[in-house]
Amino acid sequence: MDVLEEFIVESAIDSEARSYRMILEDIISDLNLVNGIGRLYVSIRPEDSVFQMAIVLRKSFSPVKVSDFSTLDTTISDEKGVLIKLDTEKYLPELLGNLWEKYQRPNVLQPERRTLKILCDDPESEIDVIADMVVDDPQKTLQSKLAEMAIRAAPEGFRVRYHHFQDNHFIFVASEEVMQDKWIEQAHEMLAKIIGGDSNVQGP
Amino acid sequence: MSRVLEPYIYEGGIHKHGLILELLEDIGGYLVQKTPAATEVTLIMFIPKEDVPLMEDLAGNLLGKLTKAPLTGVEIAVVSPTLAYHHLPHSACDIAEHLRRDGANTNMIGLARGMGRRVAMLNDYERKLINEHDIALYSFGIFRDCIMNKKTRLFEGIEIPVVVTGGPGLSTEDVPGADLYIGNIGRIPHRMRKSEELNALDVMNKKVGELVDRVREDLSKDPPVFLAARVMKEIQDQVPDISNVLTPSPITLQLNGLRVKLPYDQYHEKIENIEFDEGFRLSEVADITPSMMKNYILIKIKNKSDTGFPI
């Protein structure tokens, strides 16, 4: 699925739909969500006070573990511990934070930029614990960004909200009035239309 | 016969800008605001019309720029329905900044419950605060239906001219209660830099300038006893504590009054007792009340017909 391969914004008046599309573009780019979203379908009807949004994400991300970006070893010349050699520094701040919390600061040494030494009594068992340690969860970050995007994108007075997140699909409905079932159903239909890819919906 | 004063902005280097101030004093003009920024300085001032060429020559010699600032001496409330991400910092701040370029003083007012369609409302405090200004500019969004039918409730009780900005191209008559509608400035979540956005802001400044001219014309039929700039000068001379106030523009000029950013309880008597060469005290020719903004002092200068005596 390409980046934003479908981007549909519907409203009763075309010029207003175009303006809203621009707002959404700005929000997506502000939140750095461009690479995450594959298809997007937004419908807004101010006269009914309802905002509906359906999103298909491009892919799901798995959590990043220490073993994904480093090699671990227990052979440290004269001390007991685990030696971590990092391939990338990208996750170093989170990793150091986790290690400090678990092993205390004096036991976490960093002889050079990409090498960490963890002093512990039982390196053989700790090496597995460290290898499985999760340092980043892009899926969770994406979800929180999507929630932020939904709140920013909806007109601000629309504070009665419904959201649904499953697999790679996100639905958001917001209104100022009591939430109606048919609006939620419509949003699910919108999602169904864009899930197929070659949808028959025509944006302005 | 009273002299005609013209509002101008001088932008130039801080080096030798004192010459501008000296000339201004010599020709009887008023300095409204001075904003130094590193090696640059911006001076907003009223210059007697016949002496403008003198000032232009001096500004040219100092390699500075003297431009007309039609909104000088006007305090504008830029009202956004809330202080949420949807309105700020763009576009409400961009609007306020652009108005300031023409000399206006702007105050941003975010309403407590201005959002939405059915629930949008203005509370009493907000209404009084907005009414202290010369003009209220409401920054709305992109939906025609909201602007025409729903948000107009936010103008209830507003006695000053109401300007509305929004996305759709409507005419002023389409927006009940508004004195001026300006289109193409709707909800814009990025800094307004594109040429069409800047053009829309220029149009806004021009139209607000025309509105101010109309208000000034109305006022001139029964003008305030003193020019607000004159009262400002007397305050600067007779209440020296004003020089210690650190807020921007400690004395803010309005079309028929001033906002003095000193605590009312402590200073209102001093302000009331300000004397004029003509033999009057300020309290005789102006209403001096606590402002709804913090605990400042609001001065509204009486019209000539109200005072009962000529000056």
| B114 and B50 within one domain | no
| B254 and B179 within one domain | no
Instruction: Identify all chain B residues contacting A157, using CB atoms and an 8 Å cutoff.
Output: 81, 115-120
Last residue of a domain, one of B200, B219, B238: B219
The SS3 call for residue A176 is coil
For an interface test with A, which of B142, B148, B192, B197 has the most A Cβ atoms less than 10 Å from its Cβ? Answer: B142
| B190 and B124 within one domain | yes
Residue B85 in contact with partner chain A when CB distance is under 8 A? yes
3-state secondary structure B164-220: EECCCCCCHHHCCCCCEEECCCCCCCCCCCCHHHHHHHHHHHHHHHHHHHHHHHHHH
- A173 close to A183: Cβ distance less than 8 angstroms: yes
Confidence bin at B91 (pLDDT 50/70/90): confident
pLDDT value, residue B157: 94
**Confidence check: pLDDT of A202 > 70:** no
Confidence bin at A78 (pLDDT 50/70/90): confident
CA dist A34 and B288 (Å) reads 56
Q: What average pLDDT does the segment A100-126 reach?
A: 91
- State the CATH number of the domain containing residue B137: 3.40.50.360
| B213 and B113 within one domain | yes
Residue B242's domain spans which residues? 228-307
Residue B89 in contact with partner chain A when CB distance is under 8 A? no
CA of A158 vs chain B CAs: smallest distance (Å) = 6
Last residue of a domain, one of B201, B219, B237: B219
Last residue of a domain, one of B26, B48, B68: B68
CA dist B144 and B154 (Å) reads 16
| B284 and B168 within one domain | no
| B207 and B97 within one domain | yes
| B79 and B61 within one domain | no
- B147-161: pLDDT as tens digits: 999 999 999 999 999
Contact A176 B116 (CB under 8 A): yes
| B215 and B107 within one domain | yes
pLDDT value, residue B121: 92
Length of chain B measured in residues: 311
Q: Structural domain tally of chain B?
A: 3
Instruction: Identify all chain A residues contacting B145, using CB atoms and an 8 Å cutoff.
Output: 46-47
pLDDT value, residue B305: 87
CA dist A9 and B22 (Å) reads 60
- State the CATH number of the domain containing residue B62: 3.30.70.1290
Contact B86 A16 (CB under 8 A): no
- A180-195: pLDDT as tens digits: 999 999 999 999 999 8
CA dist B9 and A123 (Å) reads 73
Please give the structure tokens belonging to residue B173: 């008559």
For an interface test with A, which of B83, B94, B117, B146 has the most A Cβ atoms less than 10 Å from its Cβ? Answer: B117
- A43 close to A174: Cβ distance less than 8 angstroms: no
| B91 and B175 within one domain | yes
Q: Which of A13, A15, A176 sits opposite B117 (nearest CB)?
A: A176
| B171 and B123 within one domain | yes
- B221-230: pLDDT as tens digits: 888 988 899 9
Length of chain A measured in residues: 204
| B131 and B196 within one domain | yes
- A145-176: pLDDT as tens digits: 999 999 999 998 899 999 999 888 999 999 99
Contact A13 B120 (CB under 8 A): no
For an interface test with A, which of B82, B111, B119, B143 has the most A Cβ atoms less than 10 Å from its Cβ? Answer: B143
Q: Which residues 6+ apart lie within 8 Å of A3 measured at CB?
A: A34, A35, A37, A38, A58
Q: What average pLDDT does the segment B289-297 reach?
A: 94
- B12-69: pLDDT as tens digits: 999 999 999 999 999 999 999 999 999 999 999 999 999 999 999 999 999 999 999 9
| B215 and B90 within one domain | yes
> How big is the CA angle at B188 (ends B185 and B193), to the nearest 5 degrees?
80
Q: What value of ipTM does the predicted structure carry? A: 0.82
